[in-house]
A and B are shown apart, each in its own frame.
Chain A
Amino acid sequence: MQWNSIGEFFAMGGYALYVWGSFGITALALLIEPLLLRKRQSDVLDSLRRELNADKQQRKPE
């Protein structure tokens, strides 16, 4: 391993901005995309269930 301390690791030989700027934005993008998808899925399911329940209510005899 080429790092002698944690500080040295984060400094990335003076290229911290470039290296962590790349990895940071990539991590953020790969984190946000599945979260948005999970929300999209639960939104569809919610609206489908609401529709289905409304149908059942209508069909129910008084």
Chain B
Amino acid sequence: MDNKIIHWFKFGSPQTFYPLAGKMVPWFWALAAIFLVVGLWLGFFVAPTDAVQGEAYRIIFIHVPASWMSMFLYVVMACWAGIGLALNTRLSSMMASAIAPTGAMFAFLSLWTGALWGKPMWGTWWVWDARLTSELILLFLYLGFMALQAAIDEPRRADKAGAILALVGVVNVPVIYFSVKWWNTLHQGASISMSKGSTMAVTMLWGMLVMALCFWMYSIAVALMRVRAIMLERERHTDWVKYAVE
């Protein structure tokens, strides 16, 4: 057998992943802190005032990264849940459960900051348009995944039921992304596109990207912390947990 294959599967078991995750957490916190300082500095002190929106546009530095993370985390969560369902690997399913609350939080923050941006710019906190509604559905998918898992006592059954919900819900992610193209909407189009590049000032763009990196590192740190707690809770009667605690 190839040694490398065995090596990778080794980290697929909770008892080897638990200490590894514990070692990784502080590094991701440090990276998140660095990107936070740089991102906020760019966002508040380097990026110029917007010609149309004045200072209100600065909400973009958290609104767009939070929205990206809410969608990205959903896809990652669904992938882990799908792997757990297909290969019956329990750590994959635990990763999915560990990501869900953070994804839900970013979906909420996306809606919250969007409302606070919409009020001064559109004159309303909320409209039932495609972009906003599909992001709200994303929040409900996260909450539904968490509620479904919480409602089933047996963890492995909860993993399977949650995985199916998560996988079906993936269809919503491209709907959110393309909603500004497919339907007439109050929401502005993408600030960054693969084909046309960016339509923003360079410093604004960098502020946004660095804040996105900050949220990314934050999400990894928090997901690893949560998966560690989940591992201990679920496997409390196993020997490795006893050794890990001692």
Contacts and interface: CB of A to CB of B under 8 A. Distances in A.
B230 to A, nearest CB: 9
Contacts of A19: 55-56, 58-59, 116
A48 B45 contact: no
Contacts of B124: none
- The secondary-structure label for the interface of chain A is helix
A21 B116 contact: yes
Given A48-B241, A52-B245, A22 B232 contact: no
A1 interface: yes
A41 B229 contact: yes
15 contacts: A3-B45, A12-B58, A15-B120, A22-B116, A26-B66, A26-B112, A29-B105, A33-B105, A33-B222, A34-B222, A37-B226, A40-B226, A41-B229, A45-B232, A48-B245
Interface of B: 44-46, 48-49, 54-56, 58-59, 62-63, 66, 101-102, 105, 108-109, 112-113, 116-117, 119-120, 218, 221-222, 225-226, 228-229, 232-233, 236, 241-242, 245-246
